[in-house]
Structure 1
């Protein structure tokens, strides 16, 4: 019998929403309501429905919306904790479901476009389109290969605390996605459809009944495990598909199918980033490396096991190439597996795979032996050579299609990409920690009693002198402070790891780099642990040292710092040993928190060009590492557009970028989304490296008038931003009206979110992530646009004639357009009427100041983009926001009531605190962002 779902009537229709998405959202809403009714009862369902329908009616024309919301806010005061809990669960679950439906819509649209695409009109932003573009520009096959050889892309997973969902919730969402995808198959028979609908309803019922707040905080191990989940599943399986896509494109447009270099590799900070996180110890880093190895071996073992069943080719029916027979005979001489070789002699591919399995097991055992040195009995290149022998043998035996497109080719690219280490681990620590350690060593060695009191010139001179000295600075077991001892132990772990595998550790990253000495100090510590050696006037270094410029002042000074570094004679020798290569990291989050949205964007853009030019001038190959967050307020936005918008001199084919928290979950939860994300990145990198991104495109930094305008607007914007955010009374208001106190305690990461408690918060102690997180919760979205209104308003009053230049830049400059479009999107996502309700919680509010700034920003940005309303040219996003708004309002009003109750000491309970955490998770799901 067909089930009738008696739930929420979402009515997700109209411009900007497709029929399939509308159908899925309406189905999910109906099932969710039915689940609430089934589990919590009719009365609770009616309460959910009443709040939902009234909040939705507040958006109807002619509605007295504030009266409606005031009435709801009053009613919430009388609700019991259990009622509040059910409301939070119902509306949070709704957004978990809608978010998955929207992801599946992206998948559906891409699939639809791929079905319509052909060689003449490839799908937009695909790998195929990038190669097609090259051929239209008459780029030869040889030049195409040179472009691919230049590519060096390294997405970097971090454990920054921006994923509020539990793994349990993510797992249920994954099940729901799979069921929805199967439901959208048109050939289902009625019984199959009913079964899938029943399973979907069951999963929704489990979702609403699952605790969305962790009972305890995440450990570092939990974070490592979460990162490994994505690395060993969607990333592991998607990366080979990207290489295959590029091979296919080459064959279509150039008639040749090349074996490609591994231009796409992953790195991780999880278990290596100890900046501000004392829980990431040297022991934890060592354990992380071990977990990486184990995860990689587990995947390789499964791959070889699958190949054993796949390659059942018999020598009785096909020719076996001599290459394969000779390889098997050599393995048989060296390895005693106990297998009946004669019994499998007629299945040579299986026999070869069996030997590979045995060698892989020996390598795994070797890496577990902490006393063993070197690469081990089966180095990764030997593993790769064995796979290549199998591919070549298949080609020679007449199985070309299987060789080029089968599981062996996939495994080949996985080995090239992931090696045995899976993802290279970076070690990040604050410059202050390195400086304190060096100061201690100098004092213990009798070199200088107060190193930290020296000026920069004196520090550099002393460091250079010591780096050129052959003697160790301190005895091996010198008594250092706990922090310095831990740092030295970490470098010891790095040294040991690199002795086994040169790819297992990526870079040493120095947070808050201010001066040249910040980097030379790292080299000195590396020398003490045999990672860096100076002998006979030459340097032998096992690691790259990466400066991280984070504040506006440091970004501005970065060119000077790097110039001085490249001119330092000892660092020149270090660079010579490292192949004249330098990676430089730029911090998007802290620069935005420090100087505001417009200034951060401009300071970063200038620094990118300055640093690329400095590297070119000194004959250094540069790779910029972009520390971007998920939200616009932390440098977020579309990654491929950000690549294309970089200054022209930065397009050398090399790039790194961070991926964190909810960004990882969004990009890699579904294989189809993962592929789309990576193909967009590869498309942008191929085109930009070939110079395509700047053909018929405005060269922003070569336009002196545009540069002068941006400089002036940036300073005006930063002044307005700092004038507002640096006021003590504003910070007191911020702490009162936002849920920062509870965000600081939210168990979503091992790293402390703030250096102080919420009640003691000040600008300097609060980190960039919770800063953005709290503003997002209140619907102000302030970090993504504040300062823009006052800056544009005052500038255009003084220079009204420049409006036309801005409009031209908006059409011609990718960089300028992204600055405008990202701010417009954040304004559209803001909801000042709801934000005002948060502002009422404090006696002296600053809501009207924000409203004035918002209105100026909105009016001027619309004037520049020449649109009548926010997101007028993007009805899909506009519809998504309008669909979400009424339901988000419910969660906001629930959170406001919970914060009000928390001020009453008599009402403070662990249940109330848990409810506040749930409200934060719910709004994060609604806004699709945290920090």
Structure 2
């Protein structure tokens, strides 16, 4: 069957299962009365159509809104017009949920264009021969996949809405019209946003919903399939599937995360996993009703129930005890009861092995600048001071490394210390307590963001040795995070110093000679643009892999690339499948955040599919590496030249005198701090004037996406491609796109980002006296990039190989276009010289309310 025919079938299925059903249920949805405004749903199609026509004609948002009310609802005052806009927002943000639910319910029928990358295809390869099965089994002994949930607010649905979505998806699978109608009514009356900003604990609770309802089932299901099909040593400590968790542990730039927060989240994770076990145990108990089990089952039930519903403050790691009891039950079933219901027991054993008493590893993250401050503070204290060289802070890097002594000292931070200092030192102590109560894996990773030198890690180790830990039992992995273009350039040098440092070398040996290195994408994009970010990370990975192999280190890259394409996301499994043998790929670790959580892991079915694709990508790239995935010197030189050209253009843009002002004036940037979807401030140094370097990457990318310009996802790419063509390298670039998985994935994700851009929305700025030329500069690069992409792919449209995904994006953009117009209407009113006093707050609220729906609609996968 040809790929063209497959795509055609997928498009037909998409039209039938998604487009037609959305139109059907949307018409039902629009008849629901919200807040006694019964004609809102009737008016909405007219409003949507009016916005479309106005956008096509490049009218300003103000012209579109005012002409709509003049034509369709004449005679109402301005206040009532504003009320109607709020009602439209209320409907549209729920339409997005409906569209999400319909797409998810149709997942198995629509399938994916790249189904070949699933676990099923791995099983088919194993079926070819015993040798193939053996090879895959061997690779699985070393391979691991770790998904780390973060609280970065690139998507927002409260737990109550997620619950409705789950039920709605199930009802839609069978087209249960009565249930669907009731759920849509429930959806209409359920709040979509918080009146106050969530605390880090609130964020943890929200994401734990996915652990409890999705990952608990999906991961154990995949593990069961792997055990069934491949030769996996069930007694081995190596874990193929792992979960990580950042809410409550990630304090980088978030003053709301405290030691008490971390403690509370660790306890909550423990309690919820025990609740999951207890639910499974109730099923087990209903089946095992034979003699000889009463005492063991009673003890098990007491352990699980008490830890699930009456957790004590004095907790201990009970994983081994629970497993012993379950194994005892299993053995009796096998020996005395013909293995009846042994599969039920094995299912729970599998889950306890996977999730222990911790559910997901709680990572601790802090900025190196804070950690340096804490170190300097501690070195002034008696007992520590004697072990530090005078004038340490003024020494160069080599002097600092030579001076660090790694001597134990039990220093307790005084209560009057600075809050950051106190939090850091108390959290280091808390990590030991969490390991005792929940198990070592519960909290064993400390990530140093903005890591710039080897001493950043060695100084942190000293802080641990001064806070109740000792060198022989330092069960912690220290993980540098390199994210800016400059930090990525020096990453190899930093790691070489660590691998050759006597103390660190000994510490790594105790940790199985395994080193994890995190590479951030968002800040790289903000720092150097899309192409340079991708290329800097690629080069750093090649160099870091070579150094690790030289020192016989088992290297795991932890990629901060789990959001939209401009933040490193997109077709993530294709990215991993394209790693050549120059890059360590035995372990896949990546953050998943925002809309990626709900779009790729929002149901057990989609979560299994996407995790299986990542497993397939890692195994296949190791077993059957393509020679095209190793870039030769000539191709590296071409990409490097493109990255430099893109970087120069992006830096010129960043340094433009209107850059920050444009973003502040025409996007919701200034108001993001008032959108109650995150505990994290939108920028560092919160009380100071906005500077680009202080602006968080997430706020930076979100602001451009709200503008429908997505600059971080494409700016400079068109210029770089044109340079290649002008210099006579076009044939080589086309060949590279056709043969290199890395290069193709990078440009395909860029096209996905561009597909969510619409410069017609801001076309009214073309004639703006101050910003007109700046807007045109952005538009010119978009047009150039689109033209070069079309020429490269031989198509007249973006994403030519993904027609279903392209259609999905187009439909989503159509649904939220009225939100975009309302947002820019409010911004236009706020920016006008004659904005009426008293209306500023109302316009601010209009902007804020539109952000939710626009963000939620921008699903990563779509």
The TM-score, its normalising length taken from structure 2, stands at: 0.90
1:461 paired to 2:422: no
Shift of 1:753: 1.8
Residue 36 of structure 1 contacts residue 90 of structure 1 at CA under 8 Å; is this kept in 2? no
How far apart, in 2, do the equivalents of 1:811 and 1:146 lie?
31
Partner of 1:412: 349
User: Which residue is 1:550 aligned to?
Assistant: 483
Q: 1:36 to 1:928 in 2, by over 3 A?
A: farther
Q: Which sections of structure 1, spanning at least 5 residues, go unmatched?
A: 1-12, 114-121, 184-195, 315-346, 534-538
Assess if the C-alpha contact under 8 Å between 1:262 and 1:413 holds in 2: no
Answering whether residue 207 of structure 2 is matched by residue 206 of structure 1, we say no
Match of 1:126 among 102, 112, 118: 118
How many Å separate the matches in 2 of 1:756 and 1:490?
23
Which protein has the larger Cα radius of gyration, Structure 1 or Structure 2?
1
Q: Which residue of the partner structure matches residue 430 of structure 2?
A: 493
Q: Distance in 2 between matches of 1:910 and 1:807?
A: 52
Q: Deviations over 1:322-345 (max 9, x none)?
A: xxxxxxxxxxxxxxxxxxxxxxxx
> Cα distance 1:46–1:245, how it changes in 2: closer, same or farther (>3 A)?
same
Counterparts in 2 of 1:363-442, with a 5 A limit?
368-370=312-314, 375=316, 379-397=318-336, 399-400=338-339, 402-403=341-342, 406-442=343-379
Residue from 881, 898, 901 that aligns with 2:809: 881
- 1:288 shift after superposition: 1.4
d(CA) in 2 for partners of 1:133 and 1:542? Answer: 39
Q: Could you tell me how far apart the structure 2 residues matched to 1:72 and 1:684 are?
A: 47
Matched ranges for 1:312-391 at <5 A:
312=289, 314=290, 347-349=291-293, 351-360=295-304, 368-370=312-314, 375=316, 379-391=318-330
Distance 2:380 2:63 in 1: 68
Q: 1:920 aligns to what?
A: 851
Distance in 1, Cα, partners of 2:507 & 2:633 = 37
Task: Work out whether residues 578 and 629 of structure 2, in 8 Å CA contact, stay in contact via their aligned partners in 1.
Answer: no
Deviation digits for residues 361-403 of structure 1, max 9, x if unmatched?
6778997343x7xx56xx3123223323333433445645843
Does residue 241 (structure 1) correspond to residue 221 (structure 2)? The answer is: yes
Report the alpha carbon displacement of residue 563 of structure 1 after superposing the two structures with TM. 0.8
1:883, distance to aligned residue in structure 2 (A): 2.5
* Cα distance change on mapping 1:610 and 1:92 into 2, 3 Å: same
Tell me which residue corresponds to 2:691.
762
Change over 3 Å in CA distance of 1:23–1:49 after alignment to 2 = closer
- Which whole-Å CA distance do the structure 2 matches of 1:172 and 1:833 have between them? 35
Structure 2 counterpart SS, 1:819: helix
Evaluate the alpha carbon distance shift between residue 91 and residue 356 of structure 1 in structure 2; reply closer, same or farther with a 3 A threshold: closer
Match among 158, 161, 167 for residue 150 of structure 2 = 158
> Whole-Å Cα distance in 2 between the matches of residues 724 and 613 of structure 1?
35
Alpha-carbon distance in structure 1 between the residues aligned to 2:45 and 2:309: 59
Say which SS state the counterpart of residue 624 (structure 1) adopts.
strand
Change (3 A) 1:834 1:929: farther
Tell me how far apart the structure 2 counterparts of residues 476 and 212 of structure 1 sit (CA, whole Å): 42
Residue 415 of structure 1: how far off its partner (Å): 0.8
Does residue 54 (structure 1) correspond to residue 46 (structure 2)? The answer is: no
Among candidates 508, 517, 521, match of residue 575 of structure 1 = 508
* Aligned counterpart in structure 2 of residue 844 of structure 1, from 766, 771, 775: 771
Q: Please name the residue that 1:216 is paired with.
A: 196
Partner Cα separation in structure 1 for residue 552 and residue 11 of structure 2: 57
Separation in 1, partners of 2:87, 2:591: 36
C-alpha spacing 1:383/1:206, structure 2 compared with 1 (3 Å): closer
Query: Matched residue of 2:537: which SS?
Result: helix
Q: Is the 8 A contact 1:150 1:652 kept in 2?
A: no
- Out of 124, 131, 156, the position equivalent to 1:139 is 131
Aligned twin of 1:330: none
Q: Structure 1 CA distance, aligned partners of 2:393 and 2:555?
A: 30
> In structure 2, what is the equivalent of residue 775 of structure 1?
704
Match runs of 1:510-909 below 5 Å: 510-533=448-471, 539-689=472-622, 691-692=623-624, 694-695=625-626, 697-701=627-631, 703-755=632-684, 760-798=689-727, 800=728, 802-837=729-764, 843-845=770-772, 846-903=774-831, 904=835, 906-908=837-839
The answer as to whether partners of 1:644 and 1:814 remain within 8 angstroms in 2 is yes
Q: Secondary structure at the match of 1:443?
A: coil
Report how far residue 926 of structure 1 moved.
3.1
Matched, 1:276 2:203: no
**SS state at 1:832 partner:** coil
Deviation at residue 56 of structure 1 after TM alignment:
4.6
Residues 407 and 912 of structure 1: is their aligned pair in 2 closer, same or farther, counting only changes over 3 Å?
farther
Superposed CA offset, 1:507-529 (max 9, x none): 01100000011000110001001
Query: RMSD in angstroms over aligned alpha carbons?
Result: 3.0
Structure 1 contact 508–546 (Cα < 8 Å) conserved: yes
Answer yes or no: is the 8 Å Cα contact 2:59–2:764 preserved in 1.
no
Say which is worse superposed, 827-836 or 898-907, in terms of deviation.
898-907
Tell which deviates more after alignment, 392-401 or 279-288. Answer: 392-401
Contact 2:62–2:825 (CA under 8 A) maintained in structure 1:
no
Aligned partner of 2:72 in structure 1 is none
Compute the displacement of 1:274 (Å). 0.7
Q: Secondary structure at 1:545's aligned position in 2?
A: strand
Instruction: Flag the 1:882–1:363 CA change in 2: closer, same or farther, 3 A.
Output: closer
From the superposition, tell whether residues 732 and 683 of structure 1 become closer, same or farther in structure 2 (CA, over 3 Å): same
Change in 2 beyond 3 A, CA 1:125/1:476:
closer
Shift of 1:427: 0.8
SS in 2 for 1:66: coil
- Judged with a 3 Å threshold, the aligned counterparts in structure 2 of structure 1 residues 699 and 220 are, in CA distance, closer, same or farther, namely closer
Output one character per residue of 1:45-87: Cα deviation in whole Å (capped at 9) or x when no partner: 443222123345579xxxx733697752333685622111111
The 1-side partners of 2:768 and 2:294 are apart by: 71
2:4 alignment counterpart: none
Q: Secondary structure at 1:509's aligned position in 2?
A: strand
Match of 2:6 in 1: none
